[in-house]
Amino acid sequence: MKQHKFDEYIKQSAQKELETPDFLEWDNMDIPVPKKSWRPWMRPSVIALCVLSLSIIGVSLIYFNQQGNQSELNVFNENKTAQNSLYNTSNKSASDSKITEPIRDKIKTTRKKESNSKQNNNSKNPDAAIEKKSVKQSALKESRKQNSKTAVINTDDIFVSTKTMIAQNETLSEYPILNKTNVYNSVVTNKNINVSNEIDFVESEALNTIAGNPNTLSAIYKTDDVSVNQELLVNQDLLARQDDLVNLDVPAREDELDNQETVNQQVNLSRSDAIKTLKTIYPSSITVKNAEVNPSFVVQSNRPELPKLRAPEKNFSLFVSAGFINSTQLLANTADNSLQNNLSAAWGSHFNGGIEIKLPSNFFTQIGIHYTQLHSVFNYEKHLGIELNQDTGERVRLTRCIHQNNYTQMLGLRLAIGKEIKLFDKFSNAALIAVNPSYILQHEGKLLDQNSDIASVELNHLSSQINIPVSLNYRLTYAMNNSTQIYSEFGYQLSMNKVNYNLDKLYAYRDSGVLINLGLKRSF
Partner 1 sequence: MNTNQQNIELIKACLKGTQSAFKTLYNEFKGYVYTICVRYGVAEHEVKDYMQIIFSEVFKSLSKYDPQKAQFKTWLSRITINQILQQKRKRKINYVEIDDASNSLIDSNHLEHIDIRIDENKIHEVLSKMPEKYISVFNLYIVDGYSHKEISKKLNIPENTSRTLLHRGRIWAIKMLKQHLGDNLMQFKNVL
Kindly list the residues in this chain that would bind partner 1 in the complex (CB under 8 A): 1-3, 5-7, 9-11, 13-21, 23-24, 26, 28-37, 456, 458-460, 503
Separation CA 304–CA 85 (nearest Å): 11
- Residue 372: CB minimum distance to partner 1, A: 22
- Residue 355: CB minimum distance to partner 1, A: 37
Question: 22 or 313, CB closer to partner 1?
Answer: 22
Contact 477, 484 (CB under 8 A): no
- Residue 505: CB minimum distance to partner 1, A: 13
Secondary structure letter of residue 89 according to DSSP: T
CB atoms within 10 A of CB 25: 9
Contact 367, 355 (CB under 8 A): yes
Contact 232, 149 (CB under 8 A): yes
Separation CA 390–CA 387 (nearest Å): 9
- Residue 380: CB minimum distance to partner 1, A: 19
In terms of C-beta distances under 8 Å and separation of at least 24 residues, what long-range contacts does 113-120 make, across chains too? Answer: 113/294, 114/250, 114/290, 114/293, 114/294, 115/249, 115/250, 115/251, 115/252, 117/293, 117/294, 118/250, 118/293, 119/251
Contact 355, 380 (CB under 8 A): no
Contact 417, 432 (CB under 8 A): yes
Contact 223, 318 (CB under 8 A): no
- Residue 451: CB minimum distance to partner 1, A: 15
Question: 11 or 397, CB closer to partner 1?
Answer: 11
Question: 460 or 483, CB closer to partner 1?
Answer: 460
Question: 7 or 243, CB closer to partner 1?
Answer: 7
Question: 289 or 443, CB closer to partner 1?
Answer: 443
- Residue 30: CB minimum distance to partner 1, A: 6
- Residue 465: CB minimum distance to partner 1, A: 12
In terms of C-beta distances under 8 Å and separation of at least 24 residues, what long-range contacts does 33-38 make, across chains too? Answer: 35/444, 35/458, 35/459, 36/458, 36/459, 36/460
Question: 282 or 501, CB closer to partner 1?
Answer: 501
Question: 391 or 504, CB closer to partner 1?
Answer: 504
Secondary structure letter of residue 180 according to DSSP: H
DSSP class per residue in 465-501? SEE--EEEEEEEEEESSSSEEEEEEEEEEEEEEEE-T
- Residue 7: CB minimum distance to partner 1, A: 5
Secondary structure letter of residue 309 according to DSSP: -
- Residue 455: CB minimum distance to partner 1, A: 9
Separation CA 129–CA 113 (nearest Å): 17
Question: 43 or 92, CB closer to partner 1?
Answer: 43
Question: 60 or 442, CB closer to partner 1?
Answer: 442
